[in-house]
Structure 1
């Protein structure tokens, strides 16, 4: 453990989709971060999956919330198995926060958040922060893509925001509805230029954030290029391997 590590106290976990959990930690006194930033979690148990005992996680929580939340898919890795087996009161080392993939209210341009799977997590932080700070002069549109309807996370929370906020919109598309256990009657297929044109009213004047698997981030960057979006108006965040 290096000298920059501090400790979080684990509170609880909550299942948010078929294979994803949110993990709640007490926010350390004086801990400050920007919506969209991430931390490094360090587990002390031996990890035998080849990637060691450290992982980076976006803070799903808004800085306005009392606890820190990270959300991840629980895949078959030693690290994730140890994470899901944490008990209440366990101490977990962390470092950070890090990152500049953040919500900056000084920039008033409309935000378009393009998410793939678990990549929607920083946008929860940003949307709740804007709500809690009563930031109503910046429009926000989330277009989130999931492989299966079973994988969708935070849909009820985002729908609630959509109903209450005039400056917020939320769209979900499912790429493999035929393989989903849960029925789906919404948008289907990948996020593409046509979906962006359908749901974004000010395409050229918006500020775009893309978060998700590397392949998806690269593909959507190319889509935005075809829509003549300047590179300076695009921010990206890769979620490798979850």
Structure 2
């Protein structure tokens, strides 16, 4: 569900480097603000119109006290503000929610395929699973150009504590496309699982085609394309 036409004040808290090229931006959670793992927010800098993408997946879990977004360093005006914001600076959430059906379903085996910063909504999902001791079966296939995988320490901890969660890291620069696709398909146990893909548009499109060609039904695929990240 998408909550449109909002004017929810969002107060900055801190910025932390997650990798040399990615940052976590933390905000104080607005009173009464309720969201689901997998949701996104549209944000604007209060009082100023800034160029650049304004939609970000929420990388914090509904079980956490702060709101967190995770972004790759960039040149847009909004990103420059986010990268250097100070405690107390104010933003506005203009809409938030989910219009992709991009939430895990209870009692359904799921495969999450992340590309780069596309791990953000999956961090939210897995953290919620960890905090709630969720027994669902989930496989995360995490693709990244190099070995700077976001949230890797946390992900490994959650995998260790959640018996039905399995995580595979794939450093894409080490494999050509054919070998990479063969490896991904080898990690999928059943084409009847539910599949979630998040990442840059080209990666999302290629993974969707790969799944469809392997026999996965379109109705079992959900996508979150990170254009402008």
Paired residues for 1:74-223 under 5 Å: 74-99=73-98, 100-106=100-106, 108-136=107-135, 138-150=136-148, 152-176=149-173, 188=175, 192-201=180-189, 203-223=190-210
C-alpha separation in 2, matches of 1:45 and 1:199: 46
The verdict on how the C-alpha distance between 1:158 and 1:224 changes in structure 2, with shifts beyond 3 A counting, is same
Match of 2:26 among 8, 17, 24: 24
1:216-236 deviations in Å (ceiling 9; x for gaps):
111111100121000010001
Query: In structure 1, what is the equivalent of residue 10 of structure 2?
Result: 8
C-alpha separation in 1, matches of 2:75 and 2:171: 23
1:176-229 deviations in Å (ceiling 9; x for gaps):
25xxxxxxxxxx45584422333232x223100001111111111110012100
C-alpha separation in 2, matches of 1:4 and 1:110: 34
Query: In structure 1, what is the equivalent of residue 67 of structure 2?
Result: 68
Query: In structure 2, what is the equivalent of residue 185 of structure 1?
Result: none
Instruction: Flag structure 2 segments of 5+ consecutive residues without an equivalent.
Output: none
The verdict on how the C-alpha distance between 1:89 and 1:148 changes in structure 2, with shifts beyond 3 A counting, is same
The verdict on how the C-alpha distance between 1:125 and 1:189 changes in structure 2, with shifts beyond 3 A counting, is farther
Helix, strand or coil at the partner of 1:119: helix
TM-score for both structures, normalised by structure 1: 0.85
Q: RMSD across aligned C-alpha pairs, in angstroms?
A: 1.9
The verdict on how the C-alpha distance between 1:101 and 1:192 changes in structure 2, with shifts beyond 3 A counting, is farther
CA contact (8 A) 1:192 1:220 kept: no
TM-score for both structures, normalised by structure 2: 0.90
Shift of 1:91: 1.2
CA contact (8 A) 1:8 1:94 kept: yes
CA contact (8 A) 2:114 2:199 kept: yes
Matched, 1:35 2:37: yes
Instruction: Flag structure 1 segments of 5+ consecutive residues without an equivalent.
Output: 178-187
CA contact (8 A) 1:26 1:68 kept: yes
1:102-151 deviations in Å (ceiling 9; x for gaps):
32443x22110001111011001111111222211x1111111111223x
| Total equivalences in the alignment | 223
CA contact (8 A) 2:102 2:224 kept: no
The verdict on how the C-alpha distance between 1:134 and 1:200 changes in structure 2, with shifts beyond 3 A counting, is same
